[in-house]
Amino acid sequence: MNKKSQTEIMGLVMIVILITVIILFVIKFSVNAEPKTVKQDVFNQKLASNTLNVLLSTTTDCNKATITELLRDCAEYMPDGDIMCDTQLSCIFVNETIKNYLEQIIILQQKDYEFLFDEADINLTTNVCPGDLKQATANIPLRYGTKEIKLRICDKQT
């Protein structure tokens, strides 16, 4: 073999070694990255969906009205609502009831949440959830259309 052939073979060997080192770095960093499990994502989605469904159908101590009925009243008779709940109007009562309910259910699961119902100016949050969140929505029929409620859940930020 001549000198030119040996130089070309050495160049090819160097390229193969370089590609191997790059592949090893890619594998190392992809293995060390914290994987977001599908199981956790499904749990968060189900938690958001089930919590919102149960919350909206919950009967309260306010004239035996459901949360949905109180939210509807609050949206249609802004800013305070029309239904009287002991000494509070419906908007204040439903806001406190939802907050207590979500804190009992979601906070115990080590999650943060955002509950949004813009129509009634109800926005409850523990911390603003970053991009990785699961959301459940429900529609509440009002006299003038249907409005959306959102419950977003994410893992608690440390």
pTM: 0.68
**DSSP tag of 126:** S
Say how far apart CA 147 and CA 133 lie, in whole Å.
21
What are the distances in angstroms from CA 153 to CA 14, 24, 86, 150?
50, 36, 31, 10
Give 131's pLDDT tier (boundaries 50, 70, 90). Answer: low
Helix axes 90-105, 67-76, angle to 10 degrees: 140
pLDDT in tens, 28-59: 766 655 556 777 778 888 888 888 899 889 88
Of 6 and 134, more confident: 134
113-123 burial, b if ≥16 CB within 10 A, otherwise e? bbbbbebbebe
93 alpha carbon, distance to own chain's centre: 24
Say how far apart CA 57 and CA 66 lie, in whole Å.
6
Can you tell me the mean pLDDT for 64-85?
Answer: 84
Please give the share of the chain, as a percent, with pLDDT higher than 70. 79
pLDDT (0 to 100) of residue 155: 76
Give 122's pLDDT tier (boundaries 50, 70, 90). Answer: low
User: What average pLDDT does the chain have?
Assistant: 79
* Domain layout of the chain by residue ranges: 1-33, 38-155
Please check the confidence at residue 133 and state whether its pLDDT lies above 60: yes
